[in-house]
Amino acid sequence: MRRRVRTLATGLLLALVGALAFATPAQAAVVDVPFGPLSIAGYCQSKYPTAWIGFYESTGLRCYANPPGTLLHYVGPGDPYLACKHLTYDVVMTAFRGPSDALVCRVIR
C-alpha cells in the first residue's frame, strides 16, 4: 500500500512539474497611454521644483510655473521618453505628441 501511495505521489509531482515547465507565457500587448498637462507636471516637478504644469508642444516637452499674480511662465524643457519612464512602470517603447498637447506613451503591457 505504501508503495502505491509513493508511486502515485511521485507521478502527481512529476505531472505538476511538467505542466509548469510547459505553461505558455502571458501575452504582451502594445498600448498607447495618454497623459495630460497635470500628469506631465509630476515629471516636470521632479526636474524643476517650481513647475506646476507641463505641455508637449510642437517645440518639445515644456514645463511651466505659475508664480502668484502672474501668468504661466516657462521654467525649462523636458524629455518625453524620460517623462514616460517617470509616469508609468510599463516598458516604454516611444513617446509622441497627442491631441491637446498631451504626452502619449507607447508601452508594452
pLDDT tens-digit readout, 72-108: 999 999 999 999 999 999 999 999 999 988 999 999 9
Q: Which residues of 42-62 are buried (b: 16+ CB within 10 A; e: fewer)?
A: ebbbebbeebbbbbbeeeebb
Q: Find out whether 73 and 66 touch, Cβ atoms under 8 Å.
A: yes
Does 17 have pLDDT greater than 50? Answer: no
What number is the average pLDDT over the span 46-68? 94
Q: Find out whether 56 and 78 touch, Cβ atoms under 8 Å.
A: no
What number is the average pLDDT over the span 46-59? 94
Q: Tell me the CA distances in angstroms from 52 to 2, 4, 20, 63, 76, one per residue in order.
A: 72, 71, 49, 8, 12
What pTM was computed for the model? 0.73
Residue 94 is placed in which grid cell? 516611444
SS3 content of the chain, % helix, strand, coil (to 5): 40, 35, 30
